[in-house]
Structure 1
């Protein structure tokens, strides 16, 4: 592969791998990386016997934040559900596990990205082709993860807006945008590796010596040297 295409492809995959890996860890292990969050201002909302002003959703668990920014997280698990009540406890909504179980696609995307990253160091034609295809596969899985993130964000916003007398501001978290950035980087990596392989084949095809186009006459065969 042409070196000019090889190095950017490896860098794109490395950046996508870091973003995807950090998003896969998420809450409760990395407090700064969440998928979606809702801020209730100065209102104190109730959920699972817990009073809070902010709630953040991670891949493995949700975390509550009180007025003092003290954090309380659920125990990490695959798929979780929470119930949110308004301040007067006259109404409540539920974010079911069906909306959070799909978040486990994030570590799957990170694993496939890691495989593509390892393959990108090879100079073998077959392996580089596999690296390109694996990058596109990782991009597809990341796109699925991003769609799940969008669904969770939209559903959370819809459910919070159903609560009476609650002014909740639902926004996308850092993990949401990191997933989008990882998807774009994987597409760029797959295209870069593919173009590099094509350029190598073209350069190899033009390296063969050109055949002489000069034609010899029939009588020249009988001439003396």
Structure 2
């Protein structure tokens, strides 16, 4: 939110909603962040205190999905370094799970943005605007990249299987060499 308003009693011109707390910015460039916590609430009023908007904790509680999606993405990244088939499959599944969590986080961002835009519009004396920050768009880009990462593993594995190339050597079903008895292995030459 940009524009002059009273937020929790202070005159500010910008507020940024983070995962754990909101930060307000004054005209002189100073920043004041609220107490960090899960599901914080914020009260926004105009400078005349004629109108008041409360962003409750139920709207900010879902922002905690962002670090969870990041953790699952990191685990998928670690699993992707393996060349073992099972671990690669797990990396692909974790990538799709991270994409799902990122999609949920992006939907929460959109809902919070729409709610803030609507609520700030109720305060007619604020000559400001509601804008998205770079984190909003980074969430969208990471969603697309996670979907591509999951598909790349699946399609790459399918291509290797279809071409007959595999990381495992093919072994003949029967051996044409003669077997030597066990005790002959310890014989001196």
Task: Provide the TM-score with structure 2 as the length reference.
Answer: 0.85
Tell me if 1:166 matches 2:129: no
- Structure 1: gaps of 5 or more residues: 1-37, 209-225
Q: Do the aligned partners of 1:83 and 1:95 also contact (CA within 8 Å) in 2?
A: yes
Aligned to 2:10: 50
In 2, distance between residues paired with 1:192 and 1:56? 36
Which of 88, 95, 105 does residue 135 from structure 1 map onto?
95
In 1, distance between residues paired with 2:162 and 2:119? 56
Aligned to 2:2: 39
Which of 75, 82, 93 does residue 122 from structure 1 map onto?
82
Aligned to 2:112: 152
Aligned to 2:27: 67
Q: Do the aligned partners of 1:55 and 1:65 also contact (CA within 8 Å) in 2?
A: yes
In 2, distance between residues paired with 1:121 and 1:84? 48
Q: Do the aligned partners of 1:129 and 1:197 also contact (CA within 8 Å) in 2?
A: no
Q: Do the aligned partners of 1:161 and 1:168 also contact (CA within 8 Å) in 2?
A: no
In 2, distance between residues paired with 1:47 and 1:134? 40
Aligned to 1:179: 139
Aligned to 1:113: 73
Tell me if 1:201 matches 2:161: yes
The structure, 1 or 2, with the larger RCO (C-alpha pairs under 8 Å, 6+ apart) is 1
In 2, distance between residues paired with 1:111 and 1:165? 42
List, as ranges, runs of 4+ consecutive aligned residues in structure 1 with deviation greater than 6 Å: 205-208
Pairwise CA distance, 1:164: 2.4
Aligned to 2:183: none
Number of positions where the alignment pairs a residue of Structure 1 with one of Structure 2:
169
Pairwise CA distance, 1:145: 0.4
In 1, distance between residues paired with 2:91 and 2:164? 20
- Structure 2: gaps of 5 or more residues: 171-189
Q: Do the aligned partners of 1:81 and 1:94 also contact (CA within 8 Å) in 2?
A: yes
